[in-house]
Amino acid sequence: MRCHEVDYTIKGHDIQMVEIELDPNEAVIAEAGSMLFLEQDINFEAKMSDGSESGVMNKVFGLGKRILTGESVFLTHFTNEGNQKRKVGFSAPLPGSIIPLNLAYLGEEIVCQKDSFLAAALGTQVDVAFHKRLASGFFGGEGFILQRLRGDGMVFIHAGGTVVKKDLKNETLRLDTGCLVGFSGDIDYDISMSGGLKSMFFGGEGMFLATLSGTGSVWVQSMPFSRLAERVLNHSMFSSQGES
């Protein structure tokens, strides 16, 4: 199934939103709760699939994977049922950036962190990707459950803080596991130890790093939610101790 061709505009700086323009009969899918506004003639419906599956068993299998991994069972489908162009807006649940990606130029597949998917043109397959190496799950910090997005249209993922794109040419990049947003399908992803014992325990950079090798693109976020939550929690604990 070919993806619908949608036009879009990214608005804002620190807390961004994406405004998607739909032609008559065009549609987008989005995570439940991400819609900001919708103009007249755009109707929405929660469905237990992304609309790309063919066959009952494929739909059931996809639904089962989302349930087992704690993903939302429903995706919301927004369709322009009028005869004029209309717009629908989506916002990320956290402060940061929205990354527009055209899968047609990325090998028709990217892999991204769990919960980073925001919206996509109808026809995009939103799947769960269990990483092949269990070490990624036990030691990776962010888990070994990733999201795989397949198709030939536009997808929109969100990240915390500033986003940097790194293009690898048969190279290796190491980064904090929480700072990884996503990578193209030709990149190999693994977890490696950050260094010697002293660096691991006293360096403040964590015991393990995400290692990405190969040729392709990697997107890095400057402020993952896990790091932000940890700083807020630590600040709250010290503040409460000072007050007592």
Say if residue 3's pLDDT is above 50: yes
Cα–Cα distance between 78 and 136 in angstroms, integer? 35
User: pLDDT tens across 8-27, in order?
Assistant: 999 988 789 999 999 999 99
pLDDT on residue 51: 72
User: pLDDT tens across 66-102, in order?
Assistant: 555 555 668 899 999 999 999 999 998 788 899 999 9
pLDDT on residue 18: 97
- When pLDDT is cut at 50, 70 and 90, the band that residue 138 belongs to is very low
- Calculate the average pLDDT of the chain: 80
Give CA 136 to chain center in angstroms. Answer: 18
Cα–Cα distance between 242 and 235 in angstroms, integer? 11
Name residue, tokens 């028709």: 108
Instruction: Give, rounded to a whole angstrom, the gap between the first and last alpha carbons of the chain.
Output: 61
Total Cβ atoms within 10 A of residue 104: 14
Percent of the chain predicted with pLDDT > 70: 70
Tell me the one-letter amino acid at 208: F
- Tokens in use for 198? 């002293």
pLDDT on residue 132: 52
pLDDT on residue 158: 93
Say if residue 226's pLDDT is above 80: no
pLDDT on residue 144: 56
Which CATH topology does 7-238 take?
Answer: Double-stranded beta-helix (3.60.160)
186-212: average pLDDT: 66
Tell me the one-letter amino acid at 10: I
Say if residue 194's pLDDT is above 90: no
pLDDT on residue 232: 57
Say if residue 204's pLDDT is above 50: no
Say if residue 212's pLDDT is above 80: yes
Say if residue 113's pLDDT is above 50: yes
